[in-house]
């Protein structure tokens, strides 16, 4: 259909546009829905934190394909990873901004990106392990709950996505392999 500019997904069809490439797509949606500050410096900060969540998420993206929980937990605990680096920096950002959001009083795409990284962890390891892993980052756990209260995010997490996502990681990985590699 020619909608995929670079033959890649994700694709978001919105406002007559076919948006590909995650970062600018997120930027467009954030602007559209009031999650991107109009001030350029603040917009930069929101996007930079979003991008850092992208880096933090790396080991979790490959988890479905190897299913190795211990390796994934190990990779996320490392000094350059989610727990060793990013959670510390994000918590410090929350302390500086005064919260409850990363940029301060108002939510932005930064909060969504960071929330998703934590939620991905929770999804893979379960709530008990998630709470234990982030016990050293109480502001991050509070932030997680704060963002969950936005819009329909709680409903999406608890029921909505189960209706549209594939039932488990192994099935998801097989579907990706079948689509992209066979």
Partner 1 sequence: MENVEAASPSKKQRMEHEAPVSPSKSQKTEHKATADESQKTHPKLKLYYFNIPGKGEPIRLACAYGGVELDDFRMHANEFHDLKVSGKLAFGQVPALSVNDDQMIFQSAAIMRYVGKLTGLYPTNDDLLAAKIDMIVDSENDMFTGLAVSRYRGRFGFGFLTEDHVATVRKSLNDEILPEHLRNVEKLLEESTSGWVAGTANPSIADFILVPRLLWLVEADTNHGISDSLLEGYPRICALIKQLLALPAVVAFYEKHAKLHLPAHLK
Residue ranges binding partner 1 (CB under 8 A): 62, 65-71, 74, 77-80, 124-129, 168-170, 174, 177
For residue 72, the minimal CB distance to partner 1 (Å) is 10
Query: Which residue, 39 or 174, has its beta carbon nearer to partner 1?
Result: 174
CA dihedral 152, 155, 161, 167 (to 10 degrees): 170
Q: Closest by alpha carbon to 18, among 31, 33, 6, 35? A: 6
For residue 145, the minimal CB distance to partner 1 (Å) is 20
The enclosing H or E element of 122 equals: helix 109-125
How far, in Å, CA of 149 to CA of 37, rounded?
20
Query: Which residue, 13 or 70, has its beta carbon nearer to partner 1?
Result: 70
Query: Which residue, 4 or 132, has its beta carbon nearer to partner 1?
Result: 132
Cis peptide before 137 (omega within 30 of 0): no
Say if residues 56 and 86 touch (Cβ distance below 8 Å).
yes
For residue 100, the minimal CB distance to partner 1 (Å) is 29
For residue 68, the minimal CB distance to partner 1 (Å) is 6
In sequence order, the 6+-apart residues with CB closer than 8 A to the CB of 145 are none
Q: The tokens of 164 are what?
A: 């549209």
Query: Which residue, 96 or 177, has its beta carbon nearer to partner 1?
Result: 177
For residue 129, the minimal CB distance to partner 1 (Å) is 6
Give, in order, the Cα–Cα distances in Å from 132 to each of 64, 127, 163: 22, 8, 28
Query: Which residue, 127 or 152, has its beta carbon nearer to partner 1?
Result: 127
């Amino acid at each position: 259909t020619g909608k995929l500019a670079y033959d890649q997904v994700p694709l978001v069809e919105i406002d007559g546009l076919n948006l590909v490439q995650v970062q600018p797509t997120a930027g467009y949606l954030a602007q559209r829905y009031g999650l991107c500050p109009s001030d350029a410096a603040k917009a930069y900060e929101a996007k930079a934190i979003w991008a850092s969540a992208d880096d933090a998420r790396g080991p979790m993206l490959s988890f479905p394909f190897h299913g190795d929980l211990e390796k994934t937990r190990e990779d996320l605990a490392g000094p350059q990873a989610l727990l060793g680096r990013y959670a510390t920096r994000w918590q410090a950002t929350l302390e500086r901004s005064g919260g409850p959001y990363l940029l301060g009083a108002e939510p932005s795409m930064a909060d969504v990106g960071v929330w998703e990284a934590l939620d991905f962890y929770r999804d893979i390891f379960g709530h008990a392990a998630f709470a234990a892993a982030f016990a050293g980052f109480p502001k991050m756990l509070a932030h997680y709950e704060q963002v969950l209260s936005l819009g329909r995010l709680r409903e999406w997490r608890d029921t909505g996505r189960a209706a549209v996502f594939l039932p488990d990681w192994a099935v998801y990985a097989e579907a990706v392999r079948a689509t992209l590699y066979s």
